[in-house]
């Protein structure tokens, strides 16, 4: 017997693959990931990023408590000095972002503190929540 949720996803898969239908399918599949809590986020994110960062913060809809099942997770990181962290080139940075997405089951925007301008920084600071900070 197929449960209602599985039946819903199965039905949506049979639909034509237009943009609208793909979004609906993603939404249906992501219902299981809707209620990620800060404690769960911390447990999943920190081990992946800890060798590279001094601080990890979350901002945006997730930090404000307004995230939906399809919301991405915005992470702001302060990198450790290059001398004391593993090499972090573009390819490694992207692979870290992909590892986070796989672990969390959502899109992740990974941004370095050095990579944001003053105006964007002001908006981020309004709802920024620190997940991890090295001692």
Residues with Cβ < 8 Å from 45, sequence gap 6 or more? 56, 75, 100, 103, 104, 131, 132
Q: How many CB atoms lie within 10 A of CB 100?
A: 21
Residues with Cβ < 8 Å from 97, sequence gap 6 or more? 108, 109, 110
Instruction: Say if residue 121 is in the same domain as residue 69.
Output: yes
Instruction: Say if residue 63 is in the same domain as residue 108.
Output: yes
Instruction: Say if residue 82 is in the same domain as residue 109.
Output: yes
Kind of pairing between the strands at 108-112 and 73-79: parallel
The per-residue pLDDT for range 38-90, each reduced to its tens digit, is 889 999 999 999 999 999 999 999 999 998 888 999 999 999 998 989 899 99
Instruction: Say if residue 18 is in the same domain as residue 72.
Output: no
Instruction: Say if residue 53 is in the same domain as residue 41.
Output: yes
Instruction: Say if residue 68 is in the same domain as residue 108.
Output: yes
- On whether the pTM is more than 0.85, the answer is no
Pick the range with the lowest mean pLDDT from 3-17, 26-40, 114-128: 3-17
Domain count, the chain: 2
Instruction: Say if residue 17 is in the same domain as residue 39.
Output: no
The per-residue pLDDT for range 101-110, each reduced to its tens digit, is 999 999 999 9
pLDDT the model gives residue 21: 47
Q: Residue 67 maps to which CATH number?
A: 3.30.460.10
Domain of residue 5, residue span: 1-32
Average pLDDT of span 14-21: 44
Instruction: Say if residue 38 is in the same domain as residue 27.
Output: no
Mean pLDDT of the chain: 80
Instruction: Say if residue 23 is in the same domain as residue 63.
Output: no
Instruction: Say if residue 25 is in the same domain as residue 45.
Output: no
């Amino acid at each position: 017997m197929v449960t209602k949720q599985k039946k819903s996803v199965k039905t949506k898969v049979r639909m034509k693959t237009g943009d609208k239908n793909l979004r609906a399918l993603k939404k249906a599949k992501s219902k299981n990931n809707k209620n990620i809590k800060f404690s769960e986020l911390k447990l999943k994110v920190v081990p992946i990023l800890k060798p590279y960062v001094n601080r990890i913060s979350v901002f945006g809809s997730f930090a404000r408590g307004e995230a939906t099942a399809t919301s991405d997770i915005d992470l702001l990181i302060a990198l450790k000095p290059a001398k004391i962290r593993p090499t972090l080139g573009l390819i490694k940075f992207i692979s870290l972002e992909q590892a986070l997405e796989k672990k969390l089951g959502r899109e992740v925007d990974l941004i370095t503190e050095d990579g944001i301008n003053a105006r964007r920084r002001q908006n981020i600071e309004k709802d920024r929540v620190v997940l991890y900070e090295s001692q």
